[in-house]
Amino acid sequence: MTNLSVNINKIATLRNARGENLPCVEQVAQDCEAFGAQGITVHPRPDERHIRYADVMALRPLVKTEFNIEGYPCDKFMDLVLKVRPEQVTLVPDAPDALTSSAGWDVAPNMELLTSLVERLRDAGIRSSIFVGTDIENIKLAAKTGADRVELYTKPYADLYPRDPEAAVAPFVEASRAVHKAGLGVNAGHDLNLENLEFFHKRVPFLNEVSIGHALICDALYLGLHETIKRYRDCLK
């Protein structure tokens, strides 16, 4: 079974545009769960341009499924996640001013850092996931950090899918097999949507979880949040 975790960053972006509390991030998170989401993802950034650190604190007692916090592991981020203790922390290599995640970790030069971070998370009882591409040797190194899972960066798949679905998914099939062989769980995310998700799910083995935000929230503007989550869940059956 592959779980759907809904990234609610874009809800916070819309709220912040007016400086009030509409839409309410906490209520949307609860609604997503009520409508069938099996997890809630947030990605707080240092400039708090969407999800704020205060949002993360407020969401912790409300999220009843899986709470996944992703972000670059600066001191402030690590202090936050160790205080909040979500079910999962996804470590991403974003620069502080990054518009969105654009690449996975190059593990070799960051091995010491990632290993120490994974150890801190494990000691706090938090599952760790490392954001990576499909390079097999890099995945093997990620496994050596002691991480519980990796999250495969799926933008290359989404970009190629309209032209050649089989070529687009092939590296992810091999990568997922390599992750599983190394003893880790497999997550995936970035630019997955209603057009490409079902094919990805059918082809990629051992897929534990997908995290989807931007496309899902865009679809909800037309379909409504309840119907949108249902359709994404249907893609994962």
Q: Which residues are catalytic?
A: 43, 70, 190
Per this entry, what is the length of the chain? 237
Crossing angle for the helix pair 111-123 and 75-84, to the nearest 10 degrees: 20
Distance CA 145, CA 122 (A): 11
Q: Which helix (H) or strand (E) holds 5?
A: strand 3-7
Residue 146, H or E segment: none
Nearest-angstrom CA–CA distance, 235 and 2: 10
Residue 5: phi and psi, rounded to 5, are: -105, 125
Helices (H), 65-132: 75-84, 111-123
Contact, 92 vs 103, CB < 8 A? no
Q: What 3-state DSSP class applies to 162?
A: coil
CA dihedral 81, 182, 37, 236 (to 10 degrees): 160
